[in-house]
Amino acid sequence: MLVMDVGSTKGDVIEAARRGLQDQLGAFVPAHPIAGKELSGVEHADAGLYAGRQVVLTPIKATRRSNVQRATQVWTGVGAKVVTMTAEAHDSAFAAVSHLPHLLAFAFVKAITAQPDGHRFLELAGPGFRDFTRIAAGDPAMWRDVLLANRDQVLQHSLAFRAALSQFEALMNAGDTQGLEDAIAAASRVRSKWHPGAAASPD
Amino acid sequence: MLVMDVGSTKGDVIEAARRGLQDQLGAFVPAHPIAGKELSGVEHADAGLYAGRQVVLTPIKATRRSNVQRATQVWTGVGAKVVTMTAEAHDSAFAAVSHLPHLLAFAFVKAITAQPDGHRFLELAGPGFRDFTRIAAGDPAMWRDVLLANRDQVLQHSLAFRAALSQFEALMNAGDTQGLEDAIAAASRVRSKWHPGAAASPD
């Protein structure tokens, strides 16, 4: 028997597996494929969804080694590249690069629509808005669970984000043209060089 | 003579035109095409860039009507759809749907890279991160100018964003599963229904 999940948080799933699987816990390989859509449901299935994507496995002490190998074969078989790490390292990293961006996108859309002219603003939005907010269309029940399961890590990364935002705003308030350009340039360089992991897909 | 700009802010450009064009001010039609790339320079030119996109014209009192018509013909000729409004309405709307998202994306990338494990985090980032941060690769000199030219509006919308973020965080801290799901669902519905203006492109 091989049991896997495909959730975006691992610490909470491992706790649930300990309770639910008990003496079968060795069969469990916690898994998180770094791929997805803002659409849920079997009618949006896509056979190529995992091609070229990373899948993170976070085996625990109890996990049988043979099952980690079988899990790796399953994911490699659908074209994914497997990475292994601890559940703690996983949950911290994904709070930063996935869960927090979702929270920010939800909050951003809420802030726009809460304004009297919000709907007029949305009519004028372009491709930048389209991409920045794509993840705000995510499944509410799923993202409620993710944000609550990984709450402490997400809130910690949110604090770091607010501090960075305050730094940019201070440069704007000071009219510090060179400082603001330098700060934007540093972010722009990082993002321009970035590509999706070692398992980069062409887009 | 017809003079147009294609800047992302209009109030400051109009001020500059008043100083620079003087008795030729009637020739000036302030323009903002809602299209672009995170790449600048003529080597990234794209003849289809404006097809199906909106272009906002913000004529001032001094602008000759015949020039607004000629400007409209130019933009319609490259496939764009023309919208007309005041410079003030433009600058408020674009602070909300374009300038603030850029500021947030710059701050988010800065916050990640400022952390000891930031570069490891980036290796794990997936398609959500890719789209959310695409605009963080924007041209530093251009975005420095936009954020400073429209500073007051951007900072005001940033305050509204922080308030919305605090509301989400309060729901997380309270463990309010239903409240959090409702808040996410409201944002998700807005974003799912959204498409780029009346001049929606197929993507």
A26 Cβ neighbours under 8 A, 6+ residues apart? A62, A63, A64, A67
* Distances in whole angstroms, Cα of residue B24 to Cα of each of A133, B14, B17, B62, B83: 41, 13, 9, 9, 24
Amino acid at A163: A
Which of A:91-150 have CB within 8 Å of B?
A: 92-94, 96-98, 100-115, 117-118, 120-141, 143-144, 147-148
Helix, strand, coil percent content, chain B, rounded in steps of 5 = 65, 5, 30
CB contact under 8 A, A128 and B137: no
Question: What's the mean pLDDT in B123-141?
Answer: 94
Structure tokens at B7: 């800047």
Per residue in A87-133, pLDDT tens? 999 999 999 999 999 999 999 999 999 999 999 999 999 889 999 99
The residue of A57, A104, A153, A155 whose CB has the most chain B CBs within 10 angstroms, and thus the best one to mutate to test that interface, is A104
Which pTM value belongs to this model?
0.86
**Cβ contacts of B141 on chain A, cutoff 8 Å:** 181
Structure tokens at A166: 């305050």
Amino acid at B101: P
Give me the sheet containing A81-84, strands edge to edge: A31-33, A54-57, A81-84
In this complex, is the C-beta atom of A51 within 8 Å of any C-beta atom belonging to chain B?
Answer: no
CB contact under 8 A, B184 and A93: no
Q: Cα distance from A61 to chain B (closest Cα, Å)? A: 23
Query: Other C-beta atoms within 10 Å of B152: how many?
Result: 13
Question: Is B54 strand, coil or helix?
Answer: strand
Per residue in A36-80, pLDDT tens? 776 778 999 998 999 999 999 999 999 999 999 999 999 999 999
pLDDT of residue A197: 64
Quote the CA–CA distance of A176 and A1 in Å, as a whole number: 61
